[in-house]
Amino acid sequence: MKGKPFASWPLCKSLVDQHYRAAAQANGEGKPLVWAGVAAPHEIFRAMEIVGIWGETYGALCGGTQQSELNEVADDAGYSRNVCGYSRMTIGSMPANKGPLGALPRPTVVVCNKHACHAQVKWWEQIARHCAAPLFIR
């Protein structure tokens, strides 16, 4: 049974759109842009006025907007189906150069936390390598 959308959905969609537009704008203006896992210290980036794209929330956005073909792109690139959907969606969006809001702007820096799950470091290593961005692991 399909239910009625929450009344807050238009506001949430608008906030997500604004966030990704701000990331693209920062990138276009040559300002720093960080891609990071959700366990990275977001507050530090915000204090330095650095816009961030968080991998897990981006993966959830891809899944929520039915972008399953991004998983297939990751499969075709040789990534295991045993890797989580968050990372596969993000990794798949890079060579496809697309996603629910268009192509992601390239990061200036990539940050990951080695304590979140065992695949975190490898996930972000691949993103840093693909985007030719430095990787910092905390």
Q: Is 113 helix (H, G, I), strand (E, B) or coil?
A: coil
The secondary structure of residue 99, as a DSSP letter, is: -
Please check the confidence at residue 1 and state whether its pLDDT lies above 60: no
Q: How confident is the model at residue 128 (pLDDT cuts 50, 70, 90)?
A: very high
CA atoms within 13 A on the CB side of 127: 33
pTM of the model: 0.85
Summarize the confidence of residues 50-71 as an average pLDDT.
88
Question: Tell me, which fold does domain 28-137 have in CATH?
Answer: Rossmann fold (3.40.50)
> How many Å apart are CA 35 and CA 91, to the nearest integer?
12
List alpha helices for the chain, DSSP H. Answer: 9-28, 42-47, 55-64, 69-76, 85-96, 120-131
- Tell me which residue of 104, 110, 108, 109 sits closest to 92, measured CA to CA: 104
